[in-house]
Chain A
Amino acid sequence: DIRMTQSPSSLSASVGDRVTITCRASQNINSYLNWYQQKPGKAPKLLIYDASNLLSGVPSRFSASGSGTDFTLTIDILQAEDFATYYCQQTYSSPQTFGQGTNLEI
């Protein structure tokens, strides 16, 4: 199975900050990388698919890039509603696997 490793596992930031979360795959996954946001007690929400495509309706302060094994998710000008846990996911090969999550807290 492909192992997905996110860093950091937790991150403290303030409203207005710019934050970057990284995700590394244990082998090449091309651009088959997705990012999700999950708030406590809620289902995850898809933010970005195929490494860099912003889902319709997701604020433009979210962006992502990468290919191969190294990927990043960036949030510009953090808003209060962005504090959540973020997961990366590879869908290059089965079983699709998730990173362990990054808890973004105030």
Chain B
Amino acid sequence: EVQLVESGGGVVRPGGSLRLSCEASGFSFDDYGMTWVRQAPGKGLEWVTGINWDSTTTGYADSVKGRFTISRDNAKKSLYLQMNSLRAEDTAVYHCVRVRIAPGVPLDYWGQGTLVTVSS
């Protein structure tokens, strides 16, 4: 069974940093690209960043470019999101998501998410 379990969320002050982790199990982690998708309270879904299987390609939403960094450790079957210079508008549930191997690269397995609250 595919499982994605996020951790590392919490309350942080504006300008602060946080590192999210995602532990994967139930599939060959190093075969898949991975992404982070966030959802602000009561709002819709926003793609944040993605990374390919061997970390050679990454992409970021403009809203987080230069502040967030995605990385992965295939030996540990883990995905990370380093978030710096956090803003109130970064407050959201952050989901770790697997990218299906298909032409349209859909997001086929989602973790339950970890809540990040940026507040003074």
Residue ranges of A at the interface with B (Cβ–Cβ < 8 Å): 1, 31-34, 36, 38, 42-46, 49-51, 53, 55, 87, 89, 91, 94-101
The answer, among B44, B95, B110, for a CB contact under 8 Å with A100, is B44
Does B104 interact with chain A (Cβ within 8 Å)?
A: yes
Minimum CB–CB distance for A103 against chain B, Å:
11
Closest to B62 in A: A95
Beta-carbon contact of A87 and B108 below 8 Å: no
Option from A1, A32, A45 in Cβ contact (under 8 Å) with B110: A45
B61 sits at the interface (CB 8 A): yes
Can you give 12 contacting A-B residue pairs, CB < 8 Å?
A1-B62, A31-B103, A31-B104, A34-B104, A36-B45, A46-B107, A50-B104, A51-B104, A87-B44, A87-B45, A98-B45, A100-B44
Q: Quick one: which of B61, B95, B100 contacts A43, CB cutoff 8 A?
A: B95
- Which of B54-76 touch A at CB < 8 Å? 59-62
Considering only CB atoms, which chain A residue lies closest to B96 in the complex?
A43
Report, as a range, how many residues of chain B touch the other chain: 20 to 34
Q: Which residues of B contact A36 (CB under 8 A)?
A: 45, 107
Q: Kindly provide the distance from the CB of B105 to the nearest chain A CB, expressed in whole angstroms.
A: 5
A1, A32, A87, A100: the one within 8 Å of B104 (CB): A32
A98 touches B106 (CB 8 A): no
Q: Pick from B47, B60, B107, B111: contact of A97, CB below 8 A.
A: B47
- Within the complex, the shortest CB–CB distance from B95 to chain A, in Å, comes to 6
The answer for the CA separation of A15 and B62 in the assembled complex, in Å, is: 41
A36→B107 CA distance, assembly (Å): 9
Are the CB atoms of A34 and B106 closer together than 8 Å?
Answer: yes
Tell whether, in the assembled complex, residue A43 and residue B111 are in contact, meaning their CB atoms are under 8 Å apart. Answer: yes
Interchain nearest-CB distance for A84 vs B (Å): 13
**For residue B61, which residues in chain A have a CB less than 8 angstroms away from its CB?**
95
Q: Bound state CA distance, A99 and B103, in angstroms?
A: 20
Q: Which of A50, A55, A100 contacts B103 (CB 8 A)?
A: A50
Identify the closest chain B residue to A94 (Cβ).
Answer: B59
A46 touches B47 (CB 8 A): no
